[in-house]
Structures are given as C-alpha cells and as structure tokens.
Chains A and B, each alone.
Chain A
Amino acid sequence: MRSAPASILAVTSEGPTLADQVDPRFGRAGGFVVMELETGAFRYVDNGSSQVLPQGAGIQATENLVKAGAQVLLTGQVGPKAWAALEAAGLKVVQGVEDMTVAEAIQRFRAGEFAFSDAPAH
C-alpha cells in the first residue's frame, strides 16, 4: 500500500521544529512533530513521559500519539509491543524513516514516496 492522504501526521523528532532530525526511535523518541496536513499547522508533542519509563515506552508513546489525534506515524523502527498497540489504536505506520529532517520526511510522505509497514521491525 502506498502512502495516501491522511489528515493528522506524526513524525518522531529529535526537536520541536521541522528543521530537526527525525528520531529513528519510536518509544524513546524525544518527541513528535504532529502536523495537520490540510493546513500545514503543526505542534510538538513531548515524549518525555515515555523516555523515563523502565519498560513499555512504545506503549506509552502510542498513548501519547492517540491523545494527539495522530492517524499516521513516520519513524525509524517500531518494536513488537508498540506495533500491537499502534495497530489497536488504528494508526498507520511508515518505518525506515531516518537520516533526514522532519520537513523532508513530511514532504516525501506527501509525494507518496513511502510505503506503509505491515510488520514491526523486530
């Protein structure tokens, strides 16, 4: 399946701006840049509540995404428990997004360059 229009997109990010690097980690990501694709309006959702957990960071991160209303996630890798949580929450996931800025990731998603994943990374 190719990436298709979605209204709210979340990208794991090392910082709060579009110029920041994509954080390849999901559960332990610094935060999420969450963008409403129609308007281009975005905000930053801090993921510190997941980073401090001894376990279950990916599950907490999914809860944070659900609260933010995200429908699509762009990130590097998602583990099996986080994958199950994301699936239950109905989020679509693109993995393997790294070594680029958040802006570039969003632009490439809009251009339909990414394919949705159908399994966790490991």
Chain B
Amino acid sequence: MIVAVASGKGGTGKTTVSASLASVWKRPVMAVDMDVEEPNLHLFLRPTWASAESVHLAVPLLDEDRCRLCGACADFCQFKAISLLGKHLMLFPEMCHGCGGCLSVCPEGALRRGQRELGTVEVGITGEAIPCLTGRLRVGEAMSPPLMRTLLGKAWAQKELEARDMVIDAPPGVSCPAMTAVRGADVILLVTEPTPFGLHDLRLAWKAFRPLGIPMGVVINRAGLGDRNVQGFCEENVLPVLAEIPFSRDVAEHYARGGVLARLDAGMKERFEALAERLERMALEGVTHA
C-alpha cells in the first residue's frame, strides 16, 4: 500500500509524520520524499546515499537551415515554448513541458530532441534498511511534476520488485505538485495544526483531494494549541482524526535535534504504530467519507 502524507499548509509536520511512520511500519517499507523543491525527509532518516542520477526533459532544438518558418510547431505548442515572430522562430526551452508534439508536426525535420535538466533523483538506505528515494529540483527550474513522475516511477519499480509499502512525503499546497504526489496513493494522511491557518489550508487540501476518491484521515500536530475548530471541521465532514501529537517542549526539542518523533519515547512509538494500523485498515476499506 501507499500512504501519502500531505497538507495544504507548509510546516505542519508532514516530514515529521512521514519519518515516524516509516520507522514504525510493520511490513517492509520505503520512504519517498516528493517535496522536490525542498526535500528534507533524509534529514530525519539519515540514509547512506547509494546513487544520484540527473533527470532531463526532452525539449526541442532548432536546425535553422532546415526550418522554412511554416509555424506548424508554434501553432501546436500550447505552452508558448515556440513562437514564430516575423522571420524568426524562437524557442523558449524553459517553457517546454516535453510533450514532443513540435517534433512530430514539423514537416521539415528541423527540430530534434534536446534536453533540459530538471534535477536529480537520489537513492539511499537507512541504518534500519529502509530505502529512501529523494528528488531534488534544479534551482531555477519552474516545473516539478516531471521530476516527481520520474521519481515515482523509480519508486514504483522498487516497490513492486521488493514487495514494499511506501510512505510518500508530499509537498505542501494544493496545485500540480501536491496532486502529483498523492494521486496514486491508497490513503492520504493530512497533517494539520489546530490554528486558523491550519484549518484554512486543511479545508483547501480536503477540497482538492476529495475528487480523487482516495480515503483521507487527519493528524493534528501541536494539539492543545489554538482552538477546537479543526476537530469541528473533521466531525462535520466525516474526516477521521487518526492521531494527535501534543504541543510540548519535549516534542519540539526532539524535532530541533532532527530526531524521529516516534523514537522519542514508548508512548510516542505506540501512537505512531496505532496510526500506521489505522491507515492500513483505511486503505483496505477504501473511501469512508462522503
């Protein structure tokens, strides 16, 4: 099974929860950091890296001698990566989504495949033999989903080969990167905090992910802080609160040292083991909310 740990709001504790879930998971598991703009799951899990490979997107290159300025490629491109301006065919490779359509519509064979580097995919393994996969978006690259899909493909292959479950640390937000991270999951775990900000973005995430038809549950981090409105929202919308992590100095200090929260003490370990069990049950049962 695949559990995606997501949230609308950043900084709610997705990575804290992901690292803890991976560390208490009963069956063989792997951890995948899909927050490729700022990957940090490895800071908790501390894998030894075994490999790193560059990931590229195919973008067009122009052979000006062959181009007859017919504009077929520019008409085809929906992303303005090619523009015919008077007697100039201009390529904007940073705008390209890599569909390859321009290459196939060019009647002169004037376009060929070039490459734009998206970032890297790194593979490692922790001391507890948990494989860790991380994507790292090239600084300056605007598009993360293509790198995320490559990362996910690699993770899937290993998951199938080694019969592992997968914990995905998703990026925050509710747009393409977040959707790319959660859409193949069996269950989505939304991490939030009991503040107006946590509630606001939890509602957004819930609305964005609901059409996927994947069961969702909630972890309330920093419980005891703020108000009870997050609990109220969850009750109203039949969104199960699967665990609460108390707002405490012990938790904050452990986090500040880069410790995996589930290893703080026996109580915290049990809390995450119970969470893992509930997630497995939800994944088996399918959608439980409206």
Contacts and interface: CB of A to CB of B under 8 A. Distances in A.
Contacts of A81: 92, 94-95
Please classify how large the interface on chain B is, using the bins under 10, 10 to 19, 20 to 34, 35 or more.
Answer: 10 to 19
A8 interface: no
Contacts of B95: 55-56, 59, 81
B256 interface: no
A63 B83 contact: yes
A55 B81 CA distance: 9
Interface residues of A, number: 16
A59 B79 CA distance: 10
Contacts of A60: 80, 83
Contact of A85 (B79, B90, B94): B90
Given A56-B92, A56-B95, A59-B92, A85 B86 contact: no
A66 B95 CA distance: 21
A62 B79 contact: no
Contacts, number: 42
Nearest to A59: B80
User: SS class of chain B's interface: helix, strand, loop or mixed?
Assistant: mixed
Given A59-B83, A66-B85, A88-B90, 4 more contacts: A54-B79, A57-B80, A59-B80, A81-B92
A81 B80 CA distance: 10
Interface of A: 53-57, 59-60, 62-63, 66, 81, 84-85, 88-90
B86 A62 contact: no
A55 B80 contact: yes
A88 to B, nearest CB: 4
B80 A53 contact: yes
Interface of B: 79-81, 83-86, 88, 90, 92, 94-95
- Taking each of B80, B86, B90, B95, which has the highest tally of chain A beta carbons within 10 Å of its own beta carbon? B80
Given A56-B92, A81-B95, A88 B86 contact: yes
Nearest to B142: A55
Nearest to A54: B79
Contacts of B94: 81
A93 to B, nearest CB: 14
Given A55-B95, A81-B95, A66 B86 contact: yes
